[in-house]
């Protein structure tokens, strides 16, 4: 296994829409294991494949270690995930992102979703999901559609985030996990 460097704002891959996975092979399973290792090393609760430079529609989640015991969920991967329904009810919660180091802000999202996805053995699932997991999955699926969480902020909050985004873009923000450096 190996750690993968995390791509940050504003690498082009983070603006691209992911491509569906058609077949799971050993190479892809190893890549997904590396995604789990990379997420855990960075103390993340979710990671999308384009955050580590791949255009595949894959995200990994790990809510097994979060403070709120009632919201803990064992690690799992979602492949070709699609949200098929959203609750009318919304809630607001502070989000961060491994691709946007040090930027945090409150984002409003639907409280519950209906999710369709394939697991690592390409078995199809359709589940209703609520709580913190519903939020993390929406954040990761946004990544797979080329969307950052700050784009869901109000125009004022978005403007206030601009200096922090510029610092990230210029590589001025340090992290205790490896970052991908733009090739000059």
Q: How many whole angstroms separate alpha carbon 7 and alpha carbon 14? A: 8
- 30 as an active site residue: the answer is no
Q: Which is nearer to Zn ion, 128 or 151 (CB)?
A: 151
Cα atoms found within 13 Å of the Cα of residue 108, Cβ hemisphere only: 6
What character string, x for contact with Zn ion (CB under 5 A) and - otherwise, covers 19-48? ------------------------------
Q: How many whole angstroms separate alpha carbon 32 and alpha carbon 59? A: 8
Q: Which of residues 76-105 bind Zn ion (CB under 5 A)?
A: 97
Using alpha carbons only, how large is the chain's radius of gyration in Å?
16
Q: Which is nearer to Zn ion, 24 or 161 (CB)?
A: 161
Q: How many whole angstroms separate alpha carbon 19 and alpha carbon 147? A: 15
Distance of closest approach, residue 72 Cβ to Zn ion, in angstroms: 20
Catalytic option among 27, 92, 140, 151: 140
Q: Which of residues 131-170 bind Zn ion (CB under 5 A)?
A: none
Q: Is position 61 an interface residue for Zn ion (rule: CB under 5 A)?
A: no
Distance of closest approach, residue 123 Cβ to Zn ion, in angstroms: 26
Handedness of CA 35, 78, 138, 15 (dihedral sign): positive
């Amino acid at each position: 296994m190996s750690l993968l460097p995390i791509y940050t704002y504003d690498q082009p891959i983070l603006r691209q829409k992911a491509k569906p996975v058609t077949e799971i092979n050993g190479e892809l399973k190893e890549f997904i294991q590396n995604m789990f290792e990379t997420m855990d090393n960075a103390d993340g609760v979710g990671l999308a494949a384009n955050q580590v430079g791949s255009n595949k529609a894959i995200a990994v989640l790990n809510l097994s270690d979060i403070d709120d015991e009632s919201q803990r969920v064992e690690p799992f991967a979602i492949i070709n995930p699609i949200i098929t329904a959203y609750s009318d009810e919304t809630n607001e919660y502070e989000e961060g992102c491994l691709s946007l180091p040090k930027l945090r802000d409150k984002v409003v999202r639907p409280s519950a979703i209906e999710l369709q996805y394939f697991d690592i053995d390409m078995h199809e699932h359709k589940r209703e999901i609520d709580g913190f997991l519903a939020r993390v999955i929406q954040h990761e699926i946004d990544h797979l559609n080329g969307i950052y969480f700050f784009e869901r902020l109000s125009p004022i909050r978005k403007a206030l985030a601009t200096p922090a985004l510029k610092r990230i873009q210029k590589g001025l923000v340090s992290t205790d996990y490896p970052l991908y450096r733009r090739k000059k």
